[in-house]
Structure 1
Amino acid sequence: MFLKEYYDVQDNCVCITAEQASIFAKEVAHDFNPLHDVDNKRFCVPGDLLFSLVLEKYGLSQNMHFIFSGMVGHAVLLNFPTTDAEHIDVTDQQGKTYLQITRSGQLTRSQALIETLIRDYVAFSGQNFPYVLVPLLAKENVMFNIDRPLVIYESMTLNLQTVDFEQPSLEMLDPTMEVNGKRATAFLHFQIKSGTKVVGTGFKKLTVSGLRDYEAEPMRVFVEEYLARKQSYLVDIEVAAFNY
């Protein structure tokens, strides 16, 4: 599957370098969260890459729930156990848990279906900022610290009517946000369609920390700089590919 270039196998464990994770975030998910920059002191592997690796290794189950319980740093050796169990913990060599998976129902290992779903899901996920999250924050009159933004992928839930479908596509449903003091939880709901038929639903749960009162102008500048950085990177990639 196409994920092979975004991780290595070392001592029977999955090893993801900061460079591999950053390239996946930017070039597959189009996610330019600073936490996924190679030189960020708080660097972490994007949750979307971990989610994708789970589907590659364990297949797609009818019902799946993912809890991202730890931030994976550069070149951490991750153990994805060989198991048919309904509950799976992804840990490092010291036993620290980074990802918990619960699954049930029908199972498919169709590579074509799984790859299409991964690509569509991470593309959807990568658009969450700024197009979904910023309007939610503005509505609640709060914002994160733009000098040190901290938006964490907390969990994801997926419920399918069946796994016997083709060419899945994701559509955003109405998102919601709950604010509690200096923290907010955003629920980004979506549905999965095969053609015109809805075959499943799900939601991504994000935690936003360090909240303060919303200020439109600083947020506007932050978003413009974010989008400019994204556009510059993608243009450079296109030019490099053209010249190759």
Structure 2
Amino acid sequence: MNLKPFYKIKNQFVNVSREQASLFAKSVAGDFNQLHDIGAKRFCVPGDLLFAVALTELGVSQSMRFDFESMVTEQSMVHLPEQLSSEFSLYDQNNKSMMTIHSSGSVSNDADFIANLIEKYVQFSGQTFPEILIDLMKKNKVMINPARPLIIYKDMVIEIEEFAGGELSLEFSGASMSVDGKKGSVKLEFDLYVAGKRIGHGTKDMVVSGLRAYEQEAIDTIVSVYNKTKQAYAQV
């Protein structure tokens, strides 16, 4: 996939407009979180877009961890280093850390491999809600606040055993949720394959706040509204 339409970079500073962020969320990730709507009061750039930009501009190493620390907005000017190092942070123009990246092992700048990895991961990540999260909440007998659903991207990890050539695929391999009062931690796991051979593994961690007792009727309403928004976008 071509990521260039979704961000601007000048002198190693990255900026994403509301229009670019919203288009990426909906058309690439299939993510219809209201935080990514062009007119959202509490707007933020999808964390997956910042992850994708980092890989596109810097390359991918065999072991990478991305810690999401602050919300990126259309006003953020996020500075990228010239190359990967073992640990570094992406700061905005106010010297506030947006993301910290840990990197080790061999590095690949293979544009096709990176584009494939980004596309497959982002599409998987965008399916977190409602498919995976609703099932986890039901099993744990809790649910998000319908009036203010708060799901925060905490971190994600990718471990790659080899940079194999060929069509890359990603398969969901498991999910778990732990609940502590009104807060919950969610972990998603996935495997990476090329030509049927497993070449890597990854995890995505999120924090869910404002939890309350599970109510099927309320959940049905949340999912219905979400799906209608998704369908309306598809018809535009």
User: TM bucket by the smaller chain?
Assistant: over 0.9
TM-score norm. by structure 2 comes to 0.97
Paired residue secondary structure (2:73): coil
- How much has 1:10 moved relative to structure 2? 4.5
- 1:163 maps to what in 2? 163
C-alpha distance in 2, partners of 1:162/1:215?
45
- 2:205 maps to what in 1? 205
Structure 2 unaligned blocks of 5 or more: none
- 1:33 maps to what in 2? 33
- How much has 1:162 moved relative to structure 2? 1.3
Could you tell which deviates more after superposition, 125-134 or 85-94? 85-94
Please tell me the residue identity of whatever aligns with 1:27: S
Paired residue secondary structure (1:175): strand
Matching of residue 43 in structure 1 with residue 61 in structure 2: no
- How much has 1:39 moved relative to structure 2? 1.6
- 2:175 maps to what in 1? 175
- How much has 1:73 moved relative to structure 2? 1.3
- 1:23 maps to what in 2? 23
TM-score norm. by structure 1 comes to 0.93
C-alpha distance in 2, partners of 1:46/1:175?
21
Residue 106 of structure 1 contacts residue 162 of structure 1 at CA under 8 Å; is this kept in 2? Answer: no
- 2:76 maps to what in 1? 76
- 1:145 maps to what in 2? 145
Paired residue secondary structure (1:48): helix
Please tell me the residue identity of whatever aligns with 2:218: P
Offset from partner CA, 1:190-224 (integer Å, 9 cap, x none): 00011211111111001111111111011111101
- 1:57 maps to what in 2? 57
Residue 91 of structure 2 contacts residue 98 of structure 2 at CA under 8 Å; is this kept in 1? Answer: yes
* TM superposition outliers: structure 1 runs of 4+ over 3 Å: none
State, as a whole percentage, how many aligned pairs show the same letter: 41
C-alpha distance in 1, partners of 2:157/2:12?
28
- 1:242 maps to what in 2? none
- How much has 1:7 moved relative to structure 2? 0.9
C-alpha distance in 2, partners of 1:166/1:50?
25
- How much has 1:31 moved relative to structure 2? 0.4
C-alpha distance in 1, partners of 2:11/2:161?
38
- How much has 1:165 moved relative to structure 2? 3.5
Q: How do 1:98-177 residues align onto structure 2 when only pairs under 5 Å count?
A: 98-177=98-177
Distance of aligned partners of 1:114 and 1:84 in 2 relative to their CA distance in 1, 3 Å threshold: closer
Offset from partner CA, 1:216-242 (integer Å, 9 cap, x none): 011111101101110110121xxxxxx
Offset from partner CA, 1:58-88 (integer Å, 9 cap, x none): 1111000000000111231110111342112
Distance of aligned partners of 1:11 and 1:104 in 2 relative to their CA distance in 1, 3 Å threshold: closer
Aligned length: 236
C-alpha distance in 1, partners of 2:150/2:94?
26
Structure 1 unaligned blocks of 5 or more: 237-244
C-alpha distance in 2, partners of 1:11/1:199?
35
C-alpha distance in 2, partners of 1:9/1:50?
12
Paired residue secondary structure (2:32): coil
Residue 107 of structure 1 contacts residue 163 of structure 1 at CA under 8 Å; is this kept in 2? Answer: no
Paired residue secondary structure (1:174): strand
Paired residue secondary structure (1:132): helix
